[in-house]
Structure 1
Amino acid sequence: MTKILNVRNLEKSYTSGSRKLTVLHDISFDIERQETFSIVGPSGSGKTTLLGLCAGLDRPNSGSIELCGTELSTLTEDQRAVLRNQKVGFVFQDFQLLPTLTALENVAVPLELQGAKNAATVAKELLEKVGLGDRFDHYPSQLSGGEQQRVAVARAFSNRPEILFADEPTGNLDAETGETVIKLLFELNREAGTTLVIVTHDLELANMTQRVLRLKGGKILEPDAQN
């Protein structure tokens, strides 16, 4: 299998006044296409920072990231945005739905940005798959947290991404609702043949993936290993 993500010697630090805070130290790993992979660690271990770097949302201080066959450091901000729109899906802890758009419109947005003519049709099919066929015209404020996250999961798959990054996807949900969302996430992922990368502090969720990378204090605690 070919690798969809290749991370080498990644370092990330921030400067606060005269103080330098290093968030990630010499991180190296890779992920195969269609693999399910999780990044775990306590709060402040650098999980979300690492995910943002891997997805091209931020730049490292040093090191390299190759995503979907492209070295991210060679791209401009606009080029990285195009790469994300065409090949990457996201699910965030706080849903990040557009409040002025209906559920259907939120799911259709990535497709419309690509100029797809069938955006509404695909969006309807995905919302039906996540059990929201009767919520097309509802706005985020009219949906429960679990329903909003299901809309977000449908949106993440709308542009048929090669890789999907999920950052604490059940963090704002109760246990039962979270289980429903995760089940849908894995089902849609399997159906689409997408690579799934989950950042979580939930070890039970992490153990559902094929491999786990453990972080602590911005360092890999141990080599990522098969469960």
Structure 2
Amino acid sequence: MSKILNVHNLRKTYSSGSREITVLQDINFDIEERETFSIVGPSGSGKTTLLGLCAGLDRPNAGSVELCGTKLESLTEDERAILRNREVGFVFQDFQLLPTLTALENVAVPLELQGAKDATKKSKELLEKVGLGDRYHHYPSQLSGGEQQRVAVARAFSNSPSILFADEPTGNLDAETGEKVIELLFNLNKEAGTTLVIVTHDLELARMTKRVLRLKGGRIIDNSIAAAQ
């Protein structure tokens, strides 16, 4: 099976006044197509920064990221955005739904950006799959946190992504709601054959993936098959 993500010698630093703070250093790993993969570590270990670099949302100070066969450092900002819209899905901790759009319209956005003619039909089908077939015309403010995250999951799969990045997808949900959202996420992922990368502090969730990468102090301390596999 071919690699969908290759990360080589990645380093990320930030300037704070006269000091340079190293957030990530000597990061090397790859992920196969259709693999489920989690990134874990204590707060401040660089998990979310790493996800952003892998998805081309930010640029490293050194090293390279190859996503879906394309080296991200060779692309302009616009080219990276086009690649993300074509190949990548996202689920965020804070949902990131557009407040002025209905659930249906939020799910349809990636499809409309691609010029899909069946955007509304496919969006309705996805909302039905996540149990929100009766919420098409509700705005985010009219939905519970769990419902908003289910809309976000439906939106993440709407453009049939090759790889989906989920950043603390249950972070703002109670335990029971979080379990339902994760079950939906994994079921849709299996059905679509998407590569799934989850950033989480929840070790129980991490063990549901095939492989777990552990970060500490901006470095990889372990990259192995999950114990539950």
TM-score (structure 1 length as normaliser): 0.99
Task: Report deviation, 1:226.
Answer: 4.5
Q: 1:189 corresponds to which residue?
A: 189
Q: 2:42 corresponds to which residue?
A: 42
Q: 1:167 corresponds to which residue?
A: 167
The CA deviation string for residues 74-133 of structure 1, in whole angstroms up to 9 with x for no partner, is 000000000000000000000000000000000000000000000000000000000000
Instruction: Give the whole-Å Cα distance in 2 for the aligned partners of 1:57 and 1:98.
Output: 19
Q: Say if 2:65 is the partner of 1:73.
A: no
Following TM superposition, where does structure 1 have runs of at least 4 consecutive aligned residues deviating by more than 4 angstroms?
Answer: none
SS state at 1:43 partner: coil
Q: Say if 2:102 is the partner of 1:102.
A: yes
Instruction: Give the whole-Å Cα distance in 2 for the aligned partners of 1:138 and 1:225.
Output: 41
Identity over aligned residues, as a percent? 81
Q: Counterparts of 1:6-17 in structure 2 under 5 Å? A: 6-17=6-17
Task: Report deviation, 1:151.
Answer: 0.0
AA aligned to 2:37 is F
> 2:211 touches 2:223 (CA, 8 Å); kept in 1?
no
AA aligned to 1:189 is N
Q: 1:217 corresponds to which residue?
A: 217
Q: Say if 2:22 is the partner of 1:22.
A: yes
Task: Report deviation, 1:221.
Answer: 1.1
Instruction: Give the whole-Å Cα distance in 1 for the aligned partners of 2:154 and 2:32.
Output: 23
Instruction: Give the whole-Å Cα distance in 1 for the aligned partners of 2:44 and 2:146.
Output: 26
Task: Report deviation, 1:182.
Answer: 0.1
Q: 1:91 corresponds to which residue?
A: 91
Instruction: Give the whole-Å Cα distance in 2 for the aligned partners of 1:147 and 1:203.
Output: 24
AA aligned to 1:78 is D
> 2:207 touches 2:226 (CA, 8 Å); kept in 1?
no
Q: 2:156 corresponds to which residue?
A: 156
Q: 1:200 corresponds to which residue?
A: 200
SS state at 2:94 partner: coil
Structure 2, unpaired ranges of 5+: none
Q: 1:179 corresponds to which residue?
A: 179
> 2:5 touches 2:32 (CA, 8 Å); kept in 1?
yes
Instruction: Give the whole-Å Cα distance in 2 for the aligned partners of 1:205 and 1:226.
Output: 10
Alignment coverage as a number of residue pairs: 227
- Name the Cα RMSD after superposition: 0.6
Instruction: Give the whole-Å Cα distance in 1 for the aligned partners of 2:37 and 2:155.
Output: 20
AA aligned to 2:117 is K
TM-score (structure 2 length as normaliser): 0.98
AA aligned to 1:89 is G
AA aligned to 1:197 is V
Q: Counterparts of 1:134-145 in structure 2 under 5 Å? A: 134-145=134-145
Structure 1, unpaired ranges of 5+: none
